[in-house]
Amino acid sequence: MFHTIHYITDSGKYKEADLSVRTYGASSDIPMKGIFQYSTTVNFTEEKMPGAGDTVIVGMSGGVDSTLTALLLKEKGCRVIGVTMSLWKGDLPDLPDGQKLHSSCYGPDETEDIAECQSFCSAQDIEYHVIDVKDQYQKQVLDYFKSEYRAGRTPNPCIRCNSFVKFGALLEGVLKQGIAYDYFCTGHYAKIVRPAEGLWHTAARPAMIAGALDRSKDQTYFLYRIPSGTLEKVRFPLAGIEKKDVFRMAHEARLKAAERPESQDFIPPEYFDALFSDKESVPGDIIDLDGHVLGRHRGIEHYTVGQRRGLGVAANRPLYVHSIDAQNNLVVLSDNDELNSPSLIADDFVWPGNIVPDEPFDALVKIRLASRPVKARVEPYVPGENESFNGQPYKITFEESQRAVAPGQSAVLYRDGVIAGGGIISSVSA
């Protein structure tokens, strides 16, 4: 069974105060709820939300978050234009009769999503368009997803989709249709801010991503690779509303979207095997850290670091996937304690405004969506003789060792609740 990559497509009354410009940071009185706080001397100003008369594109999925976002903006006096990405190519087989699909981003239920969006927009007199991004999604998300697993890495298709498709190809498609807009809004739980002073001893003050009021629904991890230039026109109107109030407001407005199940997976788990059926899996050995053969695997693309279930190995204690050796087609197992790593090396970094830090620094780091941000030191890494990286690599040393650090996932850096940068995990240290 494949590891499931989660994508939550999901801030009480919609008050004007929620859309005002606010300043916060290390010396601010505004609570940051702690979990992303790492004190610096930088203050940030929250960018203003769309106002009456602004033309606003709203990315709609048919879910409660994007639907309420569109409604709130319309009630505010904006000219709202709804857009939905068309992704589904119909290239995966039908499921057996009676088997129900999990709600997902990529699947045949796209037609239902579009119908829901069309119905809502028609009832609200909102202009609506479907933008075909199938080819870009295939290349940037589906093909990437498969190639990463086959290389022994754990992909994050939601991060990839946001940077290349939802905030990339979708907006390009909007412009190709001749639609001009002032803002692009989605139902993500995040906010756009700007530093009061230039970053890293420069004059650059780019648009940056910060956490929303409802930290339990934080989606900043998925958004970190969106370029600052794109963020200039991006706003997240649910930034100051908690999820429970989103549902309350949607029910009060009698929105059908309030009754729909939340999308959790980027593709239905029922389709995982079919997605990988374009190439035959190559079985190989499952070994322990000492090289002893414990069993056989059915193809490294079926495994991910930290996995315990579905290993097909009999043992007198729980064993977990410690690492995957793609070059030698090996899956390596270990005890749980052996999964802890004091540091990692990451590459392919993105920085707000492309301003690269000019010195080592401390930050809070998330190594997966569900992980707790932890204190760490971030510093440039000097590659060894046989090491190759995508751009300048960085070493991230944790204050506390982290469990199941997975190459292919993202290490996202936060300072004062604001994303300071991030990269793709390349390797871990024992």
E strands, 133-273, in order: 183-185, 191-195, 208-210, 234-235
Are 165 and 136 in contact by the 8 Å Cβ rule? The answer is: yes
E strands, 354-417, in order: 361-366, 374-380, 394-403, 410-415
Cα separation, 333 vs 337, in Å, equals: 11
Q: What is the pLDDT of residues 209-254, one digit of tens each?
A: 999 999 999 999 999 999 999 999 999 999 999 999 999 999 999 9
Q: Inform me whether the pLDDT recorded for 126 exceeds 60.
A: yes
Give how far Cα 361 sits from Cα of 376, 379, 380, 393, 395, Å.
Answer: 9, 7, 10, 14, 11
Q: Inform me whether the pLDDT recorded for 35 exceeds 70.
A: no
Q: Inform me whether the pLDDT recorded for 208 exceeds 60.
A: yes
Please list the helix, strand and coil fractions of the chain in percent, rounded to the nearest 5, in that order: 25, 25, 45
Q: What is the pLDDT of residues 351-391, one digit of tens each?
A: 999 999 999 999 999 999 989 999 999 999 999 999 999 99
Cα separation, 401 vs 340, in Å, equals: 6
Cβ contacts of 66-69, under 8 Å, gap ≥ 24:
66/9, 66/186, 66/187, 66/257, 67/117, 67/120, 67/187, 67/250, 67/255, 67/257, 68/187, 68/238, 68/246, 68/249, 68/250, 68/253, 68/255, 68/257, 69/185, 69/186, 69/187, 69/237, 69/238
- Which tokens in the block code for residue 253? 């407005």
Cα separation, 311 vs 309, in Å, equals: 6
Q: Would you tell me how many other CB atoms lie within 10 Å of the CB of residue 400? A: 11
Picking from 21-35, 312-326, 358-372, which range would have the lowest pLDDT averaged per residue?
21-35
Q: Which residue has the higher pLDDT, 101 or 409?
A: 409
Cα separation, 31 vs 268, in Å, equals: 38
Cα separation, 111 vs 100, in Å, equals: 16
pTM: 0.89
* Residue from 284, 394, 282 nearest 331 by CA: 284
- Which tokens in the block code for residue 325? 């050796």
Q: What is the DSSP letter of 175?
A: H
Q: Inform me whether the pLDDT recorded for 40 exceeds 90.
A: no
- Binned at pLDDT 50, 70 and 90, residue 430 comes out as low
Are 82 and 117 in contact by the 8 Å Cβ rule? The answer is: yes
pLDDT more than 90, % of the chain: 80
Q: What is the DSSP letter of 270?
A: G
Q: Inform me whether the pLDDT recorded for 301 exceeds 80.
A: yes
Picking from 34-43, 160-169, 313-322, which range would have the lowest pLDDT averaged per residue?
34-43
- Average model confidence (pLDDT) across the chain: 89
At residue 61, the pLDDT reads 94
Relative orientation angle of helices 243-252 and 64-75, to the nearest 10 degrees: 70
Q: Inform me whether the pLDDT recorded for 83 exceeds 60.
A: yes
CA 271 to chain centroid, in Å, comes to: 21
Picking from 104-118, 229-243, 292-306, which range would have the lowest pLDDT averaged per residue?
104-118
Cα separation, 29 vs 253, in Å, equals: 34
At residue 29, the pLDDT reads 32
Helix or strand run (H / E) with residue 323: strand 320-325
* Residue from 296, 372, 379, 367 nearest 331 by CA: 296
At residue 16, the pLDDT reads 31
pLDDT more than 70, % of the chain: 88
- Which tokens in the block code for residue 240? 């100051």
Q: What is the DSSP letter of 267?
A: S
CA count, 13 A, side-chain hemisphere, 331: 29
Cα separation, 198 vs 206, in Å, equals: 8
Strands 284-288 and 394-403: unpaired
